[in-house]
Chains A and B, each alone.
Chain A
């Protein structure tokens, strides 16, 4: 019985709104007739609905057509600047509740940047930036090897000291301050 009451109460609103099918509505009606608490609940809902209607409808009593239409017509005749129209268009998408889209958009943008790189290699910077080289592995087969990277021109130099004896006298001394080896 208790469980039934619970189910009936869940459907009472829809029953009063006449949104239930005939058999379901009949079941609720029959139950309410024999169940004082559900009947009380139904009556309370009816009073609530009546109060809502009365209170809310009372609020439109002061709305005259003339001034209302004037306001609408003013908007129609008013030419908004393009910035205002753009903002009107964008604004709804920027409310915090709707910012959920920002995550996929960020991902899409990231992918877009990667894709743009395929179309326009080096678009993010000048030729210097595009010159950065990464050295994955290096083997000098017994010779000394150095890797120099010059930050200003982003030049990477691999230097092979082929002749150990000449090494100290060599003028080949890259000037990079951020030498890496």
Chain B
């Protein structure tokens, strides 16, 4: 029988490191998705996602279960990503390199078989990522969490330490920006 997040957390708090490994297995992909969505750079995202779990491990004894484990984890991830990005401010050139790497390796969007659709999707994907990259870290965070995880405004508010109303207005603003940039493609 699969243990719940909270049961695994309790085991971690009692010193069972295998339980933490299970939590990492459960959430590493999701955390990475959120982080890479904000940072738009795979290597950096990998570093930050791993650091997220390391911080969670170091502080797991302080986790009291008042919130869901994943909101707590995402909160660490988003804060680290935002901090990282403010520190780095990666250039657009690097972004393009990353995109090229991605598409060369076939790791980009889920491409259709039709070559025309293929090309269109690739272009949309690139433009979409470029448009996201121009958003502020706070706006990126809500866009990514909503798109990837479908998190509720309430959960996002908890993660970002702001109200549901703020989440709503950030999402509205961010989507409007993306719509403006991508109008001919969507």
Contacts and interface: CB of A to CB of B under 8 A. Distances in A.
Direct contact, A vs B (beta carbon within 8 Å): yes
Interface of A: 10, 13-14, 17, 19, 44-45, 47-49, 51-63, 65, 68-69, 71-72, 75-76, 91-92, 95-97
B51 A68 contact: no
20 contacts: A13-B168, A13-B171, A44-B179, A44-B183, A48-B178, A48-B179, A49-B146, A49-B147, A51-B125, A54-B110, A54-B125, A55-B129, A56-B147, A59-B33, A62-B107, A71-B50, A75-B50, A75-B54, A76-B57, A92-B79
Given A52-B128, A52-B147, A75-B50, A17 B105 contact: no
Give the interface centre of B32, B36, B50, B148 by most chain A CB atoms within 10 Å.
B50
Interface in B118-134: 124-125, 128-129, 132
A17 to B, nearest CB: 7
Interface in B1-44: 21, 24-25, 28-29, 32-33, 36-37, 42
B175 A55 contact: no
B24 A68 contact: yes
Given A48-B175, A68-B24, 15 more contacts: A19-B164, A45-B175, A48-B186, A49-B147, A51-B128, A52-B132, A54-B125, A58-B110, A58-B125, A59-B107, A60-B29, A61-B107, A68-B46, A68-B49, A95-B87
Nearest to B153: A19
Contacts of B46: 63, 68, 71
Contact of A56 (B28, B148, B178, B182): B148
A17 B146 contact: yes
Given A17-B146, A19-B153, A58-B108, A68 B50 contact: yes
Interface residues of B, number: 50
Nearest to A59: B36
A76 B24 CA distance: 13
Contacts of B146: 17, 49
